[in-house]
């Protein structure tokens, strides 16, 4: 009997900036492609997407905050099988700084518009658009 897709979490870490909210971009190691992206990671067996999002954000950045479900998930195929990635925002305090895991070599906080210019995956762009819309509703 075929298994369903494996659960993943994509998490935009966002903090208040001087003029506008900033999102955290993480740079993967060269072995993992070297691209800039948000926090991403696979859920543990039977782990709910929101729990995976909080755990992955903490593991990859050392940051914690208030989780917001962006209410979008997308399916895709990998060499290891189907994935279903759920998208979230983690709101952290102004001035928060990450402690990077060994999955990343650099980070930077950037305004949303700047982040869009750095992203290569359509799912990252779409989820960032959803975050921008959610932030606009809060104003």
pLDDT interval class at 90 (50, 70, 90): very high
Segment 97-125, tens digit of pLDDT: 999 999 999 999 999 989 999 998 999 99
**The pLDDT value given to residue 2:** 54
**Residue ranges per domain, the chain?**
6-138
Confidence of residue 139 (pLDDT cuts 50, 70, 90): low
What letter does residue 20 receive in the DSSP assignment? S
Number of Cβ atoms within 10 Å of the Cβ of 45: 7
Please state, in angstroms and as integers, the Cα–Cα distance from residue 81 to each residue in 3, 7, 38, following that order: 9, 11, 22
Burial pattern 105-130, b for ≥16 Cβ within 10 A else e, equals eebebbebeebeeebeeebbeebbeb
Predicted local confidence at residue 1, as pLDDT: 44
Average pLDDT of span 34-60: 96
Assigned token pair, 51 = 């729990």
**Neighbour count for residue 80 (Cβ, 10 Å):** 8
Q: Is the dihedral of CA 70, 110, 77, 48 positive or negative?
A: negative
HSE-up (13 A, CA, CB side) for residue 130: 19
The pLDDT assigned to 123 comes to: 94
Q: Does domain 6-138 have CATH number 3.90.79.10?
A: yes
């Amino acid at each position: 009997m075929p298994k369903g897709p494996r659960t993943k979490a994509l998490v935009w870490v966002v903090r208040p900036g001087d003029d506008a909210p900033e999102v955290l971009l993480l740079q993967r190691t060269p072995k993992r492609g070297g691209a800039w992206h948000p926090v991403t990671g696979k859920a543990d067996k039977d782990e709910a997407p929101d729990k995976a999002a909080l755990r992955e954000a903490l593991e990859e950045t050392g940051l914690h905050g208030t989780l917001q479900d962006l209410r979008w998930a997308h399916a895709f195929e990998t060499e290891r099988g189907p994935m279903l990635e759920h998208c979230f925002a983690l709101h952290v305090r102004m001035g928060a700084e990450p402690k990077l895991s060994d999955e990343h070599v650099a980070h930077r906080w950037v305004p949303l518009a700047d982040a869009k210019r750095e992203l290569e995956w359509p799912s990252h762009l779409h989820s960032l658009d959803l975050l921008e819309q959610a932030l606009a509703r809060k104003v």
